[in-house]
Amino acid sequence: GQQLNQSPQSMFIQEGEDVSMNCTSSSIFNTWLWYKQDPGEGPVLLIALYKAGELTSNGRLTAQFGITRKDSFLNISASIPSDVGIYFCAGQLASGYALNFGKGTSLLVTP
Amino acid sequence: GAVVSQHPSWVICKSGTSVKIECRSLDFQATTMFWYRQFPKQSLMLMATSNEGSKATYEQGVEKDKFLINHASLTLSTLTVTSAHPEDSSFYICSASGAGYQELFFGEGSRLTVL
């Protein structure tokens, strides 16, 4: 499967700052997802988006499914040290299909 | 959400030996399981898709004779790395899809180190 274009590759910010990362694809996906992965662990789902144009929040996290179905962004507001980790976007053609992952955004938050 | 468990969480083996990694869905029936490989500081790359009771479908560039996948039941899939070499050292992660669930569920991952 194709690998999605995710940016930025890494971010180094201060606690309290807002963070934004995005993901683009050359092809359409019907589901966009955002995951966080801590070292040595599997990815954990943060937000799932099922409809083009959908804007969904989960606490301090907000994500949107682009209307073209080829992109998505994730915002983290008021970052805290425990937000540190690697964030991956993923696109899925349909339920039951494998996920195509982005290259990841490494987030470092200093107190 | 549903739970997917992998075992072992880490394994160290000598070059040339075979290693089996198990992926279990603990509280749902996984009709489809996916195996991913993740090298350090890289993304998850799909290796193969397995449906219960049928042969796995491998992604381009993944050797089916080296990475044997068995999905004999609705709750268990296994990945066997045969004749492992140091370049097979990686983090292997499974995910499962089940009827009635819209999302995929990921295991905790298994770190393989081949000496």
Summarize pLDDT for B5-60 with one digit per residue, the tens: 999 999 999 999 999 999 999 989 998 999 999 999 899 999 999 998 889 999 99
Query: How far, in Å, are A42, B4, B33, B52 from residue B28 at the CA level?
Result: 19, 9, 12, 13
Looking only at the bridges linking them, the beta strands covering A85-92 and B4-7 are: unpaired
The pLDDT value given to residue A1? 64
Contact assignment for A88 to B107 by CB distance below 8 Å: no
Burial of A30 (0-12, 13-18, 19+ CB in 10 A): middle
CA–CA dist A55, B112 (Å, integer): 38
Contact assignment for A103 to B104 by CB distance below 8 Å: no
- What is the Cα Rg of chain B in Å? 13
The pLDDT value given to residue A3? 76
The pLDDT value given to residue A96? 84
The pLDDT value given to residue B69? 95
Report whether A89 contacts A32 (CB < 8 A). Answer: yes
Q: What's the mean per-residue pLDDT of chain B?
A: 93
Report whether B7 contacts B78 (CB < 8 A). Answer: no
Contact assignment for B43 to A103 by CB distance below 8 Å: yes
Shortest CA distance from A85: residue in chain B? B41
Q: Show the low-confidence residues of chain A (pLDDT under 70).
A: 1
Shortest CA distance from B103: residue in chain A? A95
Contact assignment for A42 to B108 by CB distance below 8 Å: yes
Q: Which residues of B touch A104 (CB under 8 A)?
A: 42-43
Closest by Cβ to B93, choosing from A3, A42, A103 = A42
The pLDDT value given to residue B53? 84
Mean pLDDT of B58-83: 94
Question: How many Cβ contacts (< 8 angstroms) between chains A and B?
Answer: 52
Give which of B106, B112, B113 to mutate to test A binding, by max A Cβ within 10 Å. Answer: B106
The pLDDT value given to residue B10? 97
Tokens read off for A68: 């073209």
Question: What 3-state DSSP class applies to B88?
Answer: helix
